[in-house]
Amino acid sequence: MQDLEDFVTKSGKDGFIFFSLGSIIKSEMMSEKKRKIFLNVFSKLKQQVIWKWESETMLDLPKNVKLSKWLPQQDLLGHPNIKMFITHCGGGGTEEAIYHGVPLIGMPFFGDQPLNAQLAKNLGFLVDLEWNDLTEEKLSAAINEVLDNPKYLKDDISKH
């Protein structure tokens, strides 16, 4: 995974964003409209974006986005350059992000995910979004909230 390490390292002081909907929800099943929302927002960021996707190619992939079918989630969440984790709020990833002090943008779908998201929000780790109401403006606003609000600095939230 040297290419992944190189991608993360080149993020420099701007860092990187990790986006995963876990293993049950398949990213490739999202609508073209939703996929374009993510691509359009990610393409405007200074940060590198690592996106768990079921293939490693996408025709219109911005240069700052890397796709991978499998990612070492624990290693990425523990990396010093990570800025946030965009997630469905599954139990494992939410717990790992809180452990590492990584702020979340949460879009829970079902099962334990809404409860996990609420817990992370109560702890001050999460900005929540509704999948069915997702727009470029809402996603951009959530990302900017995490990047710009000092309460979401990794060093600050790990003190909770």
Percent of the chain with pLDDT over 70: 95
- pLDDT at residue 157, rounded to an integer: 55
CA–CA dist 16, 45 (Å, integer): 10
The answer, yes or no, to whether residue 132 has pLDDT greater than 60, is yes
- pLDDT at residue 155, rounded to an integer: 57
- pLDDT at residue 96, rounded to an integer: 93
- pLDDT at residue 148, rounded to an integer: 94
**What average pLDDT is seen over the chain?**
90
CA–CA dist 156, 57 (Å, integer): 36
pLDDT tens digits for 18-46? 999 987 777 778 899 999 999 999 999 99
**Domains observed in the chain:** 14-157 (3.40.50.2000)
Task: Name 158's Cβ contacts closer than 8 Å, sequence gap at least 6.
Answer: 100, 101
Type of residue found at 20: S
- pLDDT at residue 34, rounded to an integer: 94
Of 68, 100, 70, residue with least CA distance to 85: 100
pTM greater than 0.75: yes
Of 2, 51, 59, residue with least CA distance to 27: 51
- Three-state DSSP class for 53? coil
pLDDT confidence band for 6 (50 / 70 / 90):
confident
pLDDT tens digits for 84-107? 999 999 999 999 998 999 999 999
Exposure string of 13-26, with b = 16+ CB inside 10 Å and e = fewer, is eebbbbbbbbeebe
